[in-house]
Amino acid sequence: MLEEIISKKYNLLKPFLDEKSKRLFAAAEALSIGKGNISIVSRATGISENTIKKGCTELESGKSLSDDKIRAPGGGRKKIVEKDPTLLSDLEALIEPTSRGDPESPLLWTCKSLRNIAGELQNIGHKVSHTSE
């Protein structure tokens, strides 16, 4: 019964919440119900118990992981050029012969498609796709 109530509240609010808000909502629910709190809220919302524990710590201490950011510093996926240091120089070498525009400007054009560029980079050993950022 309690799980159903929490689940219903969470599902109503979920479209309006970001990661931090979801964590804090789940933590507030867990702190308000007492015994078995974290596992009940975890089952009701699908949010991991570790995430709820972090939220409880934030609420109890009154301090957020970060003031205006959703994730802690260093969180998230690393940029592809950080993981593959030769990618940028190889990309520039591929594009340079077909680039258009003012060479002094940071903005250049090329007549190659993203799929063709990605294919050429893959051929020389880079793990990229046309959607890589």
Q: How confident is residue 70, by pLDDT bands cut at 50, 70 and 90? A: low
- Whether residue 6 contacts residue 41, with contact meaning beta carbons closer than 8 Å, is answered with yes
Which of 33, 61, 89 finishes a domain? Answer: 61
pLDDT at 124: 94
How confident is the model over 19-35, as pLDDT tens digits?
A: 889 999 999 999 998 77
In a domain, 129, yes or no: no
pLDDT(101) > 80: no
pLDDT at 111: 84
If asked whether residues 8 and 57 sit together in one domain, one would say yes
Measured between alpha carbons, how far is 71 from 62 in angstroms, rounded to an integer?
A: 17
pLDDT at 83: 87
Task: Report how many domains make up the chain.
Answer: 2
In terms of residue numbers, what domain contains 119? 80-123
Average pLDDT, the chain: 86
In a domain, 11, yes or no: yes
- Whether residue 29 contacts residue 6, with contact meaning beta carbons closer than 8 Å, is answered with yes
